[in-house]
Structure 1
Amino acid sequence: MRVLVTRPEPDASATAGRLRAAGFSALVDPMLSVEPLPDAELPPGRFDAVVLTSVNGARVLATRGELPGLLHLPLHTVGRRTAAAAPEGFAHTHIAGGDGAALVAQLRALLPRGARVLHVTGEDRAVDLGAALAEAGIGVDLFVIYRAVAAQVLAPATLAALEQGQIDAAFHFSPRTAATLAARIREAGAGPLMTKVQHLCFSAGVAAPLHDAGWRTLIAETPTEEGLFALLKR
């Protein structure tokens, strides 16, 4: 079985390596590339916690000069992968269950009304923490430190593999990578070829643009890479 991996690097290559070690073939074609925003400015004032909702945000934060001034705060992450990528030294790390709803529940449970959190993030966000936490009286300030730039075309190897029927499944980790792939496939006129591929998705939100394209989707029981690998074994 050959699996298409479209997440950004370096994670795409890491996932491909894990697929090959498990006996699968892998084709890497990242639909997004991550660009740090060095001119981003930290919002003024004091905070009660730092929130990370992506591995990319965690990695870019580790390079920022503002980091030492934040380490005395507790860190809240959306899941274990983000926690593993986060800089060391935070006062304490609270790890949510892997999606936005679990993170919101964690913040509501652990922070008092009137708290103010710093959401370290990219230009595109899967969850609006400010809106989700407003009723609980928890304020959210954004520190936007990177952008994810969409690929403009499919890699020639991807299109060739589709035309030759050599892609059996695809891993989808985020709504934006899924939507970008759907757009590039449509532009290449390869939509019918994708109906033969099994699309394995982190969540219903990730699957939505693929389902809209008429592609077959399966949703992992847990929003983790392990959850996607479990779908391969069905």
Structure 2
Amino acid sequence: MGALTRILVTRPQPDAEATAARLGAAGLSALVDPLLIVEPIRAAALPAGPFDAVALTSVNGARALAARPELSALTRLPLYAVGRRTAAVAPEGFADLHIAGGDGAALVALIRTSLPRGARVLHVAGEDRAVDLGAALAGDGIGVELFVIYRAVPAPALAPETCAALVAGQIDAAIHFSPRTAATLVACAQAADRAGGLAAGLCAALARVQHLCFSANVAAPLAGAGWPTRIADSPTEEGLFALLDR
């Protein structure tokens, strides 16, 4: 691969380890420091139906749905997944599976062309969402009900090993899959700089790192911090890995 050989991975587990393993198989060095911890919301109540379809906009939502007692009542419906990764970990048994192109806009377009006016979609999601399906589909007469079944809790700080590697210039690039993770990295670096001590200088160190981003929305908080960003041609892990070759 190219000159970017030491990569910071900040996505939640277990995806962080899977990405690190893929980097290792490509001959790259990965430093894993998850900045979000995913927690199920067990008390979440399923909205009143009936529904015409289920929509999943994240891998974490797909995993959380698999553990829900309501799953058996939902699998009779068609499932709309935001992309191939989400579809791959979605529970089995749904009546039909439709896979969008990898981001919220593609999912909105797929639902818009597949479902008639008056349809109702159950959006299985987390507390923080990159796309508002309800707002996007309101003009099409398609109703959306949220079923929030997990939350992502931000880490309070970067791990000491990560801080040391950044300050020492031992990280060439960081790969970013979500706006929330990117924003958490910015917040942690800024807090460390304000606090001073051994972790001071993180913002300057991260400004010397190439930030490879899933989409423009993911890049926004990083670019706002003045850090160099590059956006994948497609919102997929393959698109991110292709940036490592450039």
TM-score interval, normalised by the smaller of the two chains: over 0.9
> Are 1:95 and 2:99 counterparts?
yes
Of 231, 236, 244, the residue aligned with 1:219 is 231
Deviation, structure 1 residue 73: 0.2
Question: Corresponding residue for 2:34?
Answer: 30
Question: Corresponding residue for 1:202?
Answer: 214
User: What amino acid maps onto 2:184 in structure 1?
Assistant: T
Question: Corresponding residue for 1:138?
Answer: 142
Which whole-Å CA distance do the structure 2 matches of 1:198 and 1:232 have between them? Answer: 10
- Cα deviation per residue 1:37-75 (whole Å; 9 max; x = unaligned)? 000000012000000000000001000000000010000
Q: Secondary structure at the match of 2:140?
A: coil
Which whole-Å CA distance do the structure 2 matches of 1:24 and 1:174 have between them? Answer: 22
Which whole-Å CA distance do the structure 2 matches of 1:179 and 1:99 have between them? Answer: 18
User: What amino acid maps onto 1:118 in structure 2?
Assistant: L
User: What amino acid maps onto 1:218 in structure 2?
Assistant: R
- Cα deviation per residue 1:5-35 (whole Å; 9 max; x = unaligned)? 0000000010001001100000001110100
Q: Secondary structure at the match of 2:112?
A: helix
Root-mean-square deviation (CA), in Å?
0.5
Of 20, 45, 67, the residue aligned with 2:71 is 67
Deviation, structure 1 residue 195: 1.0
In the alignment, structure 1 segments of 5+ residues that lack a partner are none
In the alignment, structure 2 segments of 5+ residues that lack a partner are 194-201
Q: Secondary structure at the match of 1:199?
A: strand
Of 197, 200, 203, the residue aligned with 1:191 is 203
Identity of aligned residues (%): 72
**TM-score scaled by structure 1?**
0.99
Count matched residues: 234
Which whole-Å CA distance do the structure 2 matches of 1:127 and 1:32 have between them? Answer: 19
**TM-score scaled by structure 2?**
0.95
> Are 1:163 and 2:167 counterparts?
yes
Which whole-Å CA distance do the structure 2 matches of 1:194 and 1:81 have between them? Answer: 28
Q: Secondary structure at the match of 1:187?
A: helix
User: What amino acid maps onto 1:32 in structure 2?
Assistant: L
> Are 1:48 and 2:48 counterparts?
no
User: What amino acid maps onto 2:7 in structure 1?
Assistant: V
- Cα deviation per residue 1:158-208 (whole Å; 9 max; x = unaligned)? 000011110000000000000000110111121011111000000010000
Of 88, 97, 112, the residue aligned with 1:84 is 88
User: What amino acid maps onto 1:213 in structure 2?
Assistant: A
Which whole-Å CA distance do the structure 2 matches of 1:187 and 1:47 have between them? Answer: 44
Of 148, 155, 164, the residue aligned with 1:151 is 155
Question: Corresponding residue for 1:110?
Answer: 114
Q: Secondary structure at the match of 2:169?
A: coil
Which whole-Å CA distance do the structure 2 matches of 1:174 and 1:227 have between them? Answer: 14
